Structure 1
Amino acid sequence: MATFSAISPFGAQPTLLAGPNTSNVMGLSASSAPASSGISFGGMALSVTGAVTQAVGAWYSAQSAKSAAKHAATMAKGQMEMNLLAVEQAKLTRSQQVLATEYQMRTQKLSLGYQATIADVNARLSELAARSSLLQGERQEQASRLSTAQMKSSQRVALAANGVDLGSATSLNILTSTDVMGEIDANTIQANAARAAWGYRSQAVDAENQAMLARAAAENIDPEKADLYVSPYAVDPNLIQADMSGYYSQTASAISPVGDALMSLAGSAPAIAEKWRAYQQKRA
């Protein structure tokens, strides 16, 4: 009588054999065992095919996940590059605005300096005009007084030629009237010159004030501080985010379709081996 271990869901079970129809310990003869308990070569082939199909499915699934991770990494990298480009564009735009503001400030500063210089020139010209007016008035006053003196001399000659006493009241009245009129003319000339000079000097004072104000305004303009007059560039918070491309790249690198297929085969190997042993035992 021979003994061998049969494969069952409960582990190896000893079976006693005394011949081709010898009954096992369960009371069933070997020849009358149900067909479903046996392992055929076709069943083995189907098991192997299923394991291979499962491994191929695992390979395709892992390959699809790997491709998806690579695509996500590419998209994340592209999005991050676009975000960084948007940030750099915002910085460039602000830099251009700062340069434009600095240019405007420098231009305004130069313009104010030019206005101050012109105002200084106008002030000097007005002062020269005032002095010229006074000098012209002095000369006109001198000419007027000289003319008055010549007139008095002519009057004396005429009075003496007519036999009028120069010491008489009539002669004194005539000569005194000439002096008074001559003095009035001289004073009028002097007053006119003074008024003209005052007008020119008023213009000079106004020009000096304009020059002072223009210089003060120019001193308050500092083109080096143009950055303070330009608003900070606005950046969308969504543009400042973590770069996920590295994470997706690492995820893609960690996925191995071949490894998943081998793991699938390795997982199916014990069951196939068990069936193969059962098949070999059946053939024995």
Structure 2
Amino acid sequence: MARKRKATFVDLPSSDCFDGHDDDELSLPLDSSDPDENDDSNYDDLVDSDDSFSLGHQSFNEALYKEYMKECSRLKSLKKKLLISLSHNVKKKKSDGRPKVGFSRFSVTTFCNVINSLSEDYKDVIRKYGFGSLLLFDKCSMPRNFVHWVARLVNYNSGDIVVDGKAISLTKEVVHLVLDLPFGGSPFPADYTAGKLYLLSRFGKDNVPPISFFSKALVSMKEMSDDDMFVCFIIIAMSTFLCPNSSVVPCHKFFGIFEDLDKIRSYDLCGYILSWWLEYIKLFN
């Protein structure tokens, strides 16, 4: 009867891939009996030929150790990818809810700086076009949370602010009473192409410049014609106060009023402003 030889074990250093476990040591057989003398081990499944096995048991265990370290490295890489994936899922869930803040290019600071930089002659031009009430704008601050609270109370279908069953109607007449701007006239031109081309040609641009371009032109007190100055002023008033959005470039929708500046007082500006407010309150809610 064949005599079985006791296997000898050697300690291998621990690997980072077993983080969180108590397995500080891993024992593997360094020497064992021949395959045909050990009923518990089937080396024929691990060794392809007698030539490869003739390298000796120690060489075989070195190859196994390298394979073990390779697997540890692979597991470590998988663990890192899993943690990154979980982190991305958590961030995505946090961003799925209602945004805590709203963002727009509304800027009372920019608008006030422009008003304060205007000469009396330029202010007279603005009054001549019927927008002198905007020069009376007084800078003030209002808590963002209060603004959001009011916006969420607006029924944008009826145009009412509803509080405890009571309604405060938002109409273009109310806008006129607050801002003293033209109302009740013709709607803004639906096709703003001609007004946009007029704007580009007047300022020598291929594309509509950002809002900052028009504000800097006025704050720097650069000499310009009355019409150019008025166009810059209206773009700033609309983009930073009356009808702001989230873009750094003025919205093209109201450019149709620039096609003929002599007709600008004939447009229903208050109606346009109210429609803009209700549309963006709808998007916000």
Name the TM-score class by shorter chain: under 0.3
Scaled by the length of structure 1, the TM-score of the pair is 0.24
Larger Rg: 1
TM-score (normalised: structure 2): 0.23
Which protein is richer in helix relative to its size?
Answer: 1
RCO higher in 1 or 2 (8 Å CA, sep ≥ 6)?
1
